[in-house]
């Protein structure tokens, strides 16, 4: 029988963070959030085994998240198990998969909570010596209000004895497996402690930490990045230098039935004449990011004379520019693209364009703007001979990256 297994729940979709990929796979200082979570748990001396529950669609994202883990941690890692429709379903499926390993204890932890400390893990495990379960939690110190009609305060709640639950939530393995099996066909429960309580298990509270945050919003991601920075990097963060780059691109219309605009295939009465896919929005964006980095222009990285790039997907160019930014420790804080054309209309496709650009850059959609304008029927765009785009990108660079 093993001592302690950690079950990391990473099957959720994480829509509240506003990104195009689940929050547990967002970039956090050059690695996915889940990578940091696995490091934090896997490096603890008392954790013998790691089991991750993931969504079936996320195998490629998961593979990227475990790349680069130290061998000592990778050896603890079991193949991932596919989660279910609800969080408690994912936990139950993960526990069932762990059953063959017969651990004495299990810690159940959120994949999007990458800053769990060794002290919290120790406190949770130690509390299981005398209890069926133990969860990390924080005492409520703020006054609590219940909302009534139209945002009015209905009542003030007594905060005495109230705690905010965190993870890990630790349990004696056989007891929590039985509890989850019993709860499988019942109503959705908010956490594993509630599952345990419903099955008559004794669960105690241990002190959590404010730093043990769960990535839910873009601000949480920024706080986590700051917490993971080394002391010298933290001091440098106060002197980050903003850089701005601009880009412009134009293409003539030609034969075809669609145009690629900001990574989206838009039906149109014509195509464009171009060496690659002719996406003026993405080409302008690439030049803007490269300009902010002082790294030349798109033609110097992807020469139009090179047959390798004939009909190439411009998404490749954007990923390249975003990768250069990450290599230099830069953060892309905002990009703004203006499409200039009479036709096609941009409005019906704007949301998809923003989503696509955010995905390619690895940022949240609130950092992307796509607009459109015409030239009032003046010039080549006014005569519908082609279309153009201009872009501006704002990056923050640490001192070491400044040229």
pLDDT in tens, 350-374: 999 999 999 899 888 889 999 999 9
- 306: which 2 tokens? 């090179």
- Does residue 220 sit in the same domain as residue 320? no
Instruction: Say how many domains are in the chain.
Output: 2
Partners of 135 in the β-ladder: 169, 205
| The Cα angle at residue 58 between residues 75 and 76, in degrees rounded to 5 | 10
- The predicted pLDDT at position 402 comes to 41
Q: Confidence band (pLDDT; 50, 70, 90) for 329?
A: confident
What count of Cα atoms within 13 Å lies in the side-chain half-sphere of residue 84? 14
- The predicted pLDDT at position 218 comes to 77
- Does residue 55 sit in the same domain as residue 143? yes
- Give the domain range for residue 121: 4-228
Q: Is the previous residue joined to 5 through a cis bond, with omega within 30 degrees of 0?
A: no
Instruction: Read off the pLDDT of residues 177-192 as tens digits, 9 standing for 90 and up.
Output: 999 999 999 999 989 9
Q: Which residue has the tokens 């400390």?
A: 117
Residue 398: is its pLDDT beyond 80? no
Would you mind telling me the total number of residues written for the chain in this entry? 403
Q: Taking residues 94-113, report their average pLDDT.
A: 96
- Smallest Cα–Cα separation from 245: which of 403, 44, 46? 403
| The Cα angle at residue 403 between residues 392 and 401, in degrees rounded to 5 | 80
Kind of pairing between the strands at 31-32 and 27-28: antiparallel
Least confident span in 77-86, 131-140, 147-156, 382-391: 147-156
- Map residue 130 onto helix, strand or coil: coil
- The predicted pLDDT at position 241 comes to 83
- The predicted pLDDT at position 236 comes to 47
Q: Residue 297 burial (CB < 10 Å; 0-12/13-18/19+)?
A: middle
- Does residue 182 sit in the same domain as residue 51? yes
- The predicted pLDDT at position 403 comes to 41
Indicate the residue among 210, 228, 246 that finishes a domain: 228
- Does residue 185 sit in the same domain as residue 323? no
Query: Cα separation of 373 and 338, whole Å?
Result: 7
Indicate the residue among 228, 252, 287 that finishes a domain: 228
Partners of 50 in the β-ladder: 6, 77
- Does residue 339 sit in the same domain as residue 205? no
Kind of pairing between the strands at 49-54 and 81-82: parallel
Q: Taking residues 146-164, report their average pLDDT.
A: 89
- Does residue 16 sit in the same domain as residue 147? yes
Q: Confidence band (pLDDT; 50, 70, 90) for 401?
A: very low
Instruction: Read off the pLDDT of residues 278-310 as tens digits, 9 standing for 90 and up.
Output: 999 999 999 999 999 999 999 888 888 888 888
- Does residue 266 sit in the same domain as residue 184? no
- Does residue 240 sit in the same domain as residue 224? no
The answer to whether the Cα torsion of 283, 284, 289, 293 is positive or negative is positive
Looking at every residue in the chain, the average pLDDT score rounds to 90
- The predicted pLDDT at position 108 comes to 98
Query: Cα separation of 264 and 186, whole Å?
Result: 43
Partners of 315 in the β-ladder: none
DSSP 148-213: -GGG-EEEEEP-TT-EEEEEEEEEEHHHHHHHHHHHTTS---SSHHHHHHHTT--EEEEE--TTS-
Residue 60 backbone phi and psi in degrees, to 5: -65, -40
Q: Confidence band (pLDDT; 50, 70, 90) for 223?
A: confident
Query: Cα separation of 370 and 354, whole Å?
Result: 7
- Smallest Cα–Cα separation from 123: which of 225, 5, 209, 10? 209
Strands, E, within 219-360: which ranges?
241-254, 258-261, 264-267, 271-272, 331-340
Q: What is the CATH number of the domain that holds 144?
A: 3.90.550.10
């Amino acid at each position: 029988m093993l001592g302690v297994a950690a079950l990391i729940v990473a099957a959720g979709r994480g829509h509240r963070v506003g990104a195009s990929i689940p929050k547990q796979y967002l970039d956090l200082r050059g690695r996915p959030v889940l990578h940091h979570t696995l490091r934090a748990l896997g490096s603890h001396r008392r954790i013998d085994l790691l089991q991750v529950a993931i969504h079936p669609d996320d195998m490629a994202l998961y593979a990227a998240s475990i790349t680069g883990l130290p061998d000592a941690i990778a050896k603890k890692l079991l193949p991932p198990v596919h989660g279910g429709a609800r969080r408690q379903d994912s936990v139950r499926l993960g526990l069932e998969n762990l059953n063959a390993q017969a651990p004495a204890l299990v810690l159940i932890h959120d994949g999007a909570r990458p800053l769990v400390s060794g002290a919290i893990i120790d406190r949770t495990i130690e509390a299981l010596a005398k209890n069926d379960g133990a969860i990390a939690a924080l005492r409520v110190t703020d006054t609590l209000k219940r909302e009534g009609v139209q945002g009015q305060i209905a009542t003030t709640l007594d905060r005495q004895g109230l705690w905010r639950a965190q993870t890990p939530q630790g349990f004696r393995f056989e007891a929590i497996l039985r509890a989850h099996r019993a709860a499988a066909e019942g109503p959705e429960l908010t956490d594993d402690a509630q599952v345990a309580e419903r099955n008559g298990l004794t669960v105690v509270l241990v002190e959590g930490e404010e730093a043990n945050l769960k990535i839910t919003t873009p601000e949480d991601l920024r706080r986590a990045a700051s917490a993971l920075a080394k002391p010298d990097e933290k001091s440098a963060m106060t002197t980050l230098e903003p850089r701005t780059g601009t880009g412009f691109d134009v293409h003539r219309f030609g034969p075809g039935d669609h145009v690629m605009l900001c990574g989206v295939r838009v039906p149109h009465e014509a195509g464009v004449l171009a060496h690659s896919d002719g996406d003026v929005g993405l080409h302008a964006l690439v030049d803007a990011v490269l300009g902010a980095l002082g790294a030349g222009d798109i033609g110097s990285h992807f020469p139009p004379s090179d047959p390798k790039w004939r009909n190439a997907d411009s998404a490749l160019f954007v990923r390249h520019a975003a990768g250069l930014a990450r290599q230099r420790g830069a953060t892309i804080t905002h990009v703004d693209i203006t499409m200039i054309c009479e036709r096609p209309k941009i409005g019906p496709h704007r949301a998809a364009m923003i989503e696509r650009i955010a995905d390619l850059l690895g940022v949240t959609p609130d950092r992307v703007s796509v607009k459109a304008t015409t030239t009032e029927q003046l010039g080549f765009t006014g005569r519908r001979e082609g279309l153009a785009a201009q872009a501006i990108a704002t990056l923050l660079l640490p001192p070491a990256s400044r040229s």
